[in-house]
Structure 1
Amino acid sequence: MRFGKISLAAIAAASLVSAPVMAESLSPAAKAVGASKVKRVGANTKEESKLGGGSGVIVAVLAAAAVIGGIVIASGNDDNSPTSP
């Protein structure tokens, strides 16, 4: 019975791994259009994005604070007495 459970788990894992690959290769849309004919094209924009720039500094400061806080928490235990009587 143990071998049956292990083999059933292996078959289930293999089917979960291979299902997306099989579905992609057998889809009618992929056969009709052809995978090599599909090309991705970006949209044209008039202005640059204003999201970039100063946000990198904020992320770096927050990451440094998190690292320093982790070090302080990890080394903050000064109680070295045993817990058992």
Structure 2
Amino acid sequence: MKFGKLAAGIAAVSLVAAPAAAQTSNSMAPAVERIGAKSTSSEKLEGQNGILIAVLAAAVVIGGIVLIADDDDPTSP
């Protein structure tokens, strides 16, 4: 019983301390400054996948409705 409570306490402390430890390591100044690379071609992919996403979402919703509505078997014997 004591081991279970000890393990739960250690897990709780690690969950609380992990974000604080990650934040302090990211706040230090980087040793090397990052520079973005220049691109010669610009691809415009924004807005062209909206119809595909909408069709897939509609198919998932319709499939879910069919699966839920298809269960007409009685639960009682």
TM-score (norm 1): 0.57
**Equivalent residue number for residue 65 of structure 1:** 59
**Equivalent residue number for residue 7 of structure 2:** 8
1:11-49 deviation line (CA, Å, top 9, x unaligned): 23313542463366369xx3xxx26xx876543222222
Q: How many residues align?
A: 75
**Equivalent residue number for residue 52 of structure 1:** 46
Deviation at 1:56, TM superposition (A): 1.5
Deviation at 1:71, TM superposition (A): 0.4
Change (3 A) 1:26 1:76: closer
CA RMSD in angstroms comes to 3.4
Q: Between Structure 1 and Structure 2, whose CA radius of gyration is higher?
A: 1
**Equivalent residue number for residue 74 of structure 2:** 80
Change (3 A) 1:81 1:39: same
Q: Which runs of 5+ in 2 are unaligned?
A: none
Identity of aligned residues (%): 43
The code of the aligned residue for 1:74 comes to I
Q: RCO (CA 8 Å, sep 6+): is it higher in 1 or 2?
A: 1
TM-score (norm 2): 0.61
Deviation at 1:9, TM superposition (A): 1.8
